[in-house]
A and B are shown apart, each in its own frame.
Chain A
Amino acid sequence: DQQVKQNSPSLSVQEGRISILNCDYTNSMFDYFLWYKKYPAEGPTFLISISSIKDKNEDGRFTVFLNKSAKHLSLHIVPSQPGDSAVYFCAASGISGSARQLTFGSGTQLTVLP
């Protein structure tokens, strides 16, 4: 059951350039999407989110784009910094009961080279 997919297990980018991480989903009931960053031996750290009523959300160096017709979202980091090197998880949620469960992708390891 792969409702949220991150097809690139790894990505390397030069410092100062743009990093683009991609995520696809299959469940049309998802209406809220989040990106988390995770370092080894730590919990996921929230980065940015987007509601299905929007197609773009920006926060500093991070921008998330949502293409609902393609069921695709992407995270842009610009400029990339060596401290951005981590595993990035896409997660999605939809109305279910009285609380929301997140469905995670498998993650993309981003390495930013100095």
Chain B
Amino acid sequence: EPEVTQTPSHQVTQMGQEVILRCVPISNHLYFYWYRQILGQKVEFLVSFYNNEISEKSEIFDDQFSVERPDGSNFTLKIRSTKLEDSAMYFCASSEQGFPQETQYFGPGTRLLVL
């Protein structure tokens, strides 16, 4: 069964460093998403991406964040200068369509720890 994959599974970085989280969405999916879950809190939407551009972003997704689909298979989230509060599980998701009602399938997540 096709699935969303994410690398790395864990990432430890120093505050102020740049990190890139990678995702390979399900191959025939057209819509891509990043969510995060800070320990003990809800899963929160960060950004959605379609047709090589951002469709929506939350207020969490500030100028420190960027997304890219550098080739036909990868979807990346870059945090330019990490802060302590960026420590969280980051989940990538993809869906075949964006609307009217389409299920998003999630990857296993990357646990990011900023020291």
Q: What is A's interface to B at a CB cutoff of 8 Å?
A: 31-32, 34, 36, 41-46, 49, 51, 89, 91, 93, 95-107
Contact = CB atoms under 8 A, between A and B. Distances in A.
Secondary structure dominating the interface of B: strand
A43 B101 contact: no
B50 A42 contact: no
Given A49-B101, A98-B50, A103-B45, A43 B33 contact: no
Q: How large is the interface on B (under 10, 10 to 19, 20 to 34, 35 or more residues)?
A: 20 to 34
Given A44-B106, A49-B103, A99-B56, A89 B43 contact: yes
A103 B106 CA distance: 14
Contacts, number: 78
A45 to B, nearest CB: 7
B11 interface: no
B13 interface: no
B106 A43 contact: yes
Scoring A31, A32, A99 by chain B CB atoms within 10 A of each residue's CB, the highest score goes to A99
